Amino acid sequence: MFRSGLRMFGLSFWLQSCLSAPTQISNREALYQNCMETFQEEMKCKDLLKKSEENLKTEEEKKREKRINLSQEDKNSLKIRDEMKDLIISRNKLFVISYIGEPDKKETSADRDYWIYSRPISRYSTEHDPDDEVTVIFRRGQVERITVIKPSTTPDEGFSLRNLIKAREERKSNKP
């Protein structure tokens, strides 16, 4: 009796979650064609497409637009990545909040806290684009590590096999 009740609960929960999940059309042409099939009015469909355009953007597109549209004041307030890392390593949570602000998302796992900054707060240098995401990892209330997801326009830093191969290929192509 208990198992069948549990199965029914699980089945109803699954159906409810499937039915309540919003459907999102990620293809603009498909949305326009569906609208034309339904309403057969070009003006209504163009208006619908224009209004839906913001909802059709992926998170990555929204982040990219936010970075592009930064004001000069916001660009000037971005921290240099290496300086930021050096300054906040081994510091406490209050210092991090006062230096770079409240995180966009907080996660906790075992004995570590992860503060995720998805808004632009740092960059490689003043000429480069802002970092995509910065994660500050705390252990026992102090910063243990900082991880950064760099934008694709940022050059690789430090020694890597990829840099060595690139340099070798450039030397070969420059020789007469």
DSSP state letter for 155: P
DSSP state letter for 129: P
Q: What band does 98 get if pLDDT is binned at 50, 70 and 90?
A: very high
Range of the domain at 77: 72-149
Is residue 25 a part of any domain in this protein?
no
pTM of the model: 0.59
Is residue 67 a part of any domain in this protein?
no
Paired residues of 122 in beta bridges: 79
- The arithmetic mean of pLDDT across residues 96-115, rounded, is 94
Residue of 87 and 43 predicted with greater confidence: 87
HEC string for 115-168: EEECCCCEECCCCCCECCEEEEEEECCEEEEEEEECCCCCCCCCCCHHHHHHHH
Helix 93-100 vs helix 81-88: crossing angle, to nearest 10: 150
Tens digits of residue pLDDT in 23-82: 445 577 887 888 888 888 888 888 887 777 766 677 777 777 777 778 888 888 899 999
- The arithmetic mean of pLDDT across residues 118-146, rounded, is 91
Is residue 83 a part of any domain in this protein?
yes
Q: Is 58 helix (H, G, I), strand (E, B) or coil?
A: coil
Tens digits of residue pLDDT in 138-147: 999 999 999 9
Is residue 139 a part of any domain in this protein?
yes
Residue with the two structure tokens 């830093």: 157
CATH number, residue 137: 3.30.1450.10
Asked if the model's pLDDT at residue 167 lies above 90, the reply is no
List phi, psi (to 5°) of 105. Answer: -150, 140
Is residue 33 a part of any domain in this protein?
no
The answer to whether residues 99 and 115 touch, using CB atoms and an 8 Å cutoff, is no
The predicted pLDDT at position 22 comes to 44
Query: How many domains does the chain contain in total?
Result: 1
Q: What band does 12 get if pLDDT is binned at 50, 70 and 90?
A: very low
Is residue 47 a part of any domain in this protein?
no
Is residue 81 a part of any domain in this protein?
yes
